[in-house]
Amino acid sequence: MAPEMDDILGICLRALTWARERDYTGWEKHDGLNSPVLQAIFGWGKWPRILAIQGVMRFPVNLRPFLGIRKHRNPKGIALFARAWLNLHQVTGDTDHLLEARRLLDWLLETPAGGGWPGMAWGYPYPWQDPGFFAPSGMPNRIVTYFVGRSLLHGFEATAEETYLAGARKAVEFILTAPRVLEETQETLCLSYVPAEGMNMAVVDVPALCGSLCAMVGLRTGERVLVKEAGRLMNWVAQRQTGYGAWYYTDPPGDSHITHDNYHTGEIVDSFLEYGRYSGDGSHTSAYSRGLAFYSNNLFTAQARPKWMHDREFHYDAHGYAQGIITHTLAGDRKTALRVARAALEDLWDETSGRFFYQRRRGFTKRTTFMRWCQAWLTFALSGLLPALSPSS
């Protein structure tokens, strides 16, 4: 085993052990609305909700213990942890890693959102207010459902267990048939983030991620109709790419203050790559190449640290480091992926405890560890780099 691979494998095992010892429960970046204290003080109109989320998230120290915010399992985090264990099993052959991955995947299959939604779906364990919509705690959405469906598909590919493929297929059923369709033509399709009335904001990474999953599942089940729907979703996203290769967070861009940020851009880039690999459709090769070039050249510093947005350097965020590792690993750019990984470990890894911190800011580090945002994302990203570091690769 190569020395660098050995080091990263050890870090992944320590980080996963830290999470497992806590039963994968933790606080969340956006969980301010879980506070009974803030609810009693402010009530829950739209702008008080936004103030509560942003205030708790941005405060220099972690207020959650004092605000009565409880720790939870997040299905999105569980999906990432399961995939990290699967990655470790791939490079080590350790059956205990596979058993832990299966335990987490089985938990996901046993705990979908209720409410009579089509297929199977999952949501966040906290209420969530955005300028464009409100989602109660546990309400399913397409992003969390994508990540769970992707993990189940990964589980199927690792084990050939048909139950996992069936779960991924049910996730796709929710994605394609739950409300709401935001825009549709014969060649394009855009779906909402949340299946809620009044949800009119088109978030560009939603159809991108959903399109890639539809193609993956369609290939495995032999349903060409799913691959065709995937193509319509990706066509819509491709049409939103700017002349210089980027995507805005929303369409139209003015619906959000977020412009070209790090991790959403990386997710869209990865979606085009995986869609092309699974569908066999090469029509978006240029969109992928131009998107990857924009991402690599505009969303990282010279020291391989993830910029917050293309025109705003700070802060360096755990999710951004993770996305940089993932996107460059998938692109076959091992050198850049390793540079981002080294910067992440230098800035956010706590060797003493075995956990990852939240952000490096100007002059200080926010040392809170969010179970999904920090621990799950960076462990998954680093574990995915391991096969590329194998001497046989």
CA atoms within 13 A on the CB side of 5: 17
**Does one domain contain both 209 and 356?**
yes
pTM of the model: 0.96
**Does one domain contain both 268 and 199?**
yes
**Does one domain contain both 264 and 154?**
yes
Label residues 78-110 b or e (16+ Cβ within 10 Å = b).
Answer: bbbbbbbbbbbbbbeeeeebbebbbebbbebbe
Q: From CA 119, how far away is CA 175, in angstroms rounded?
A: 8
**Does one domain contain both 64 and 165?**
no
**Does one domain contain both 55 and 149?**
no
Q: From CA 48, how far away is CA 42, in angstroms rounded?
A: 6
**Does one domain contain both 272 and 179?**
yes
Backbone Cα Rg of the chain = 20
Residue for token digits 């739209």? 46
Domain that holds residue 55: 32-71
**Does one domain contain both 330 and 246?**
yes
Q: What is the domain-level CATH number for residue 334?
A: 1.50.10.20
Q: From CA 295, how far away is CA 256, in angstroms rounded?
A: 20
Q: From CA 183, how far away is CA 354, in angstroms rounded?
A: 45
**Does one domain contain both 208 and 275?**
yes
Residues paired with 366 in a beta bridge: 359
Residues paired with 317 in a beta bridge: 359
Q: Domain tally for the chain?
A: 2
**DSSP secondary structure code for residue 346 in this structure:** H
- The H or E element containing residue 227 is helix 224-239
pLDDT per residue, tens digit, the chain (393 aa), is 455 878 999 999 999 999 999 999 999 999 999 999 988 777 668 888 888 999 999 998 999 999 999 999 999 999 999 999 999 999 999 999 999 999 999 999 999 998 899 999 999 999 888 777 788 899 999 999 999 999 999 999 999 999 999 999 999 999 999 999 999 999 999 999 999 877 888 999 999 999 999 999 999 999 999 999 999 999 999 999 999 999 999 999 999 999 999 999 999 999 999 999 999 999 999 999 999 999 999 999 999 999 999 999 999 999 999 999 999 999 999 999 999 999 999 999 999 999 999 999 998 999 999 999 999 999 999 999 999 887 765
